[in-house]
Amino acid sequence: MRCVGSQRVVIVGPEANAAWAQDRPRLDYAMVAEKLAAEILAWAASPAALRGSYPVRVARSFAPNLAHARRLLLQPTMPALVYTTGETWGLPVAVAAALGESAAVHVMYCHRVYSDRWLRALGTLRSRLRVDGWICVTNHQAGLLHAALGPDARIATVSQGVDTLFWDPARAQPQRGSPYVLSVGSEMRDYRLLFAAVRDLDVEVVVKASSAWMRVGRDALGPIPQNVRLVTERLSYAAMRDLYAGASVVTIPLVDTPQAAGITAILEAMSMGKPVVVTDSRGLPDLVRDGAGIVVPNASPRLLAEAIRSAIHDGGGAARTGTELRQRAVACNLEAHAAGVVAFITQVMENA
């Protein structure tokens, strides 16, 4: 049996500066670090943040992170626990720990390893990867990992968290004008479906995807409906909060994926008290499946349009639903996320 206690704990994530600022949400793993008295290390970025072909980007991410992992695990003051906040850093640590027969306990938060190809690879390589505990975003993902890794794998579901102190409608300054339908994000989105659905709606639709997608991805979508406004400039977190505040409905058109695509926007919208209309996907957050959002099954432009129109015209009912959504979001706040992660890490350490 092991416990964290006064032992060295390291958390690896995309940012080392975990100081909270008034103009941005807090980092979820910073709260985990606070609870565990851990130090945070920032290593090489994920392939998605790099340039070049996919193999080149993977190599430019994995190779330096593997070197970082080997140095960390070879230090005289090797940590008792390494918590990696994503596969970008977790897989290099898993390889390095297995090769070096490290005594450090390794827990990894998993976002992306749920495609058939990834699951087959994990099943094949599991004996060559040192991961003592796996954390998933949804129960569906946990089932996929258990099927790939076997029933003895230590797997927990801990939802991604949302900073409800930052994403608070009371702190927003929405622009004056008529409310609009808002859609946020670019990863795993089906904007062709959304544009076909809203083309004939008598309401403005505002789309804020990533700046990179705005430069490249939108050209593949064909003509943009006249009632759709694309926000092309980069927005601060505070400006995004204002954008949410001015919306009547937030809609997230997803492609079907086991990843928890859209969860950030869904939780932010809920925290801002906005009704959420989302197309069905295997990776939908459990909170949405439990009734916190309007899920459109077998998504078609007609069904999505009907769901958006219904949410818009729900009047006071939608407002009440928005209030309830904010309350539901509080149950998924950063404090709850950090508590869930720490509880699982503690369980893994005690059984190591």
pLDDT given at position 291: 80
Helix (H), strand (E) at residue 135: strand 133-136
pLDDT (tens digit per residue) in 216-273: 566 667 789 999 999 988 899 999 999 999 999 999 999 999 999 999 999 999 999 9
**pLDDT > 60? residue 2:** no
The domains located in the chain, with CATH, are: 9-161+333-350 (3.40.50.2000), 169-330 (3.40.50.2000)
pTM of the complete model:
0.92
Q: Max alpha carbon distance in the chain (Å)?
A: 66
Report how far residue 73's alpha carbon sits from residue 96's, in angstroms, rounded to the nearest whole number: 8
Confidence tier at 118 by pLDDT (50, 70, 90): very high
Report how far residue 95's alpha carbon sits from residue 130's, in angstroms, rounded to the nearest whole number: 7
pLDDT (tens digit per residue) in 47-99: 888 888 989 999 999 999 999 999 999 888 889 999 999 999 999 999 999 99
Q: State percent of the chain over pLDDT 70.
A: 91
pLDDT given at position 289: 83
Confidence tier at 209 by pLDDT (50, 70, 90): confident
Report how far residue 159's alpha carbon sits from residue 144's, in angstroms, rounded to the nearest whole number: 16
Other CB atoms within a 10 A radius of the CB of residue 295 amount to 17
The number of residues making up the chain comes to 352
Confidence tier at 343 by pLDDT (50, 70, 90): very high
Report how far residue 322's alpha carbon sits from residue 270's, in angstroms, rounded to the nearest whole number: 7
**pLDDT > 90? residue 322:** no
Q: Is 188 left (phi over 0), alpha (psi -120 to 50) or beta?
A: left
In order, the DSSP letters of 218-275 are GGGG-SPPTTEEE--S---HHHHHHHHHTEEEEEE-BPP-SS-TTHHHHHHHHHTT--
pLDDT given at position 298: 78
Q: Is 53 left (phi over 0), alpha (psi -120 to 50) or beta?
A: beta
